[in-house]
Amino acid sequence: MMPANPRHVLITGSTSGIGEAAAIAFARGGDTVYVNGRDADRTEAAAERIRAAVGDAGGDIVAVAADIATEDGAEQIFAAISNLDVLVNNAGIYTESAPFEISDDEWRRHFEVNVLSGVRLTRHYAPRMAERAWGRVIFISSECAVTTPPEMIHYGMTKSAQLAVSRGFAIGVAGTGVTVNCVLPGPTRTPGAEEFLAKMYGGIPFEEAEKQYFAEIRPTSLIRRFCLPSEVANLIHYVASEGASATTGAALRVDGGVIATIIP
């Protein structure tokens, strides 16, 4: 049975975009939310924005700055948060490079930030959740796990790896009341996406650039627009609920239909 509020929820990489939107969703539900980023000032600033968005009726917002792509950063998280009810492995990076020009360092960096960070946290917290017979672990993957662009194969590799990792961990906690799932967002209107579009289309208004982008680059999208971070957060929040107790080991899409298959 789901623990009574406030649940304790860690969302990594929650200083902007999908992570920040997810933090707002959980806080509005009365949960205690740990906001995480690498930079202390930026993390506290995000926590303040979330507090302002939620108001006095929401749950507590706690800023926990740590670089979870490192072992030391993970240890800082473990020292600050003894137990979690919900872990959202959202921290991630992406860069663009020609397929044969991606260096060993870039391959390693993407793996350490996007995959190994979530592995470390899940390895620590999921067994503790299992001891209490309830918990939710959610990896934020991407539609690029299934439809990897050639200029982002190092990123796509990490997002595909998250599918395997989450399924394996789900098997590892089978029958305990803990679920482990992947959420696969499609193109989402984050600050990074806005900057990307501005560079691609020379600073024309966002709405016009968005139309061109989906006509030229993502024609399989069925909604013909970017997903909003709040729309992705809605699915994350549901997967963490008691109502999703029979959903585990799954890859759940909130991609606007951009993946041109029914099953990932």
Mean pLDDT of 160-180: 98
* Termini Cα distance of the chain: 30
Domain borders along the chain are 8-188+228-254, 190-226
What's 175-240 look like in SS3? CCCEEEEEEEECCECCHHHHHHHHHHCCCCCHHHHHHHHHHHCCCCCCCCCCECHHHHHHHHHHHC
Vertex 196: Cα angle to 205 and 155 (nearest 5)? 155
pLDDT, tens digit, for every residue of 84-115?
999 999 999 998 899 999 999 999 999 999 99
What's the chain look like in SS3? CCCCCCCEEEECCCCCHHHHHHHHHHHHCCCEEEEEECCHHHHHHHHHHHHHHHCCCCCCEEEEECCCCCHHHHHHHHHHCCCCCEEEECCCCCCCCCHHHCCHHHHHHHHHHHHHHHHHHHHHHHHHHHHCCCEEEEEECCHHHCCCCHHHHHHHHHHHHHHHHHHHHHHHCCCCCEEEEEEEECCECCHHHHHHHHHHCCCCCHHHHHHHHHHHCCCCCCCCCCECHHHHHHHHHHHCCHHHCCCCCCEEEECCCCCCCCCC
Beta bridge partners of 140: 183
pLDDT computed for residue 262 by the predictor: 87
The model's pTM: 0.96
How far apart CA 161 and CA 153 sit, in angstroms, is 12
pLDDT of 82 strictly over 80: yes
pLDDT computed for residue 135 by the predictor: 98
pLDDT computed for residue 70 by the predictor: 97
8 Å CB contact between 110 and 102? no
pLDDT of 264 strictly over 80: no
pLDDT more than 90, % of the chain: 91
Q: Which of 94, 155, 201, 213 is catalytic?
A: 155
Task: Report the chain's mean pLDDT, rounded to a whole number.
Answer: 96
Pick the CATH number of 8-188+228-254 from 3.40.1640.10, 3.40.1350.10, 3.10.20.30, 3.40.50.720: 3.40.50.720
- Torsions phi, psi of 109, nearest 5? -60, -45
Tell me whether residue 34 is one of the annotated catalytic residues: no
pLDDT computed for residue 1 by the predictor: 80
Q: How far is CA 147 from the centre of its chain?
A: 18
**Beta strand pairing status for 61-65 and 8-11?**
unpaired
pLDDT computed for residue 192 by the predictor: 85
Mean pLDDT of 21-32: 97
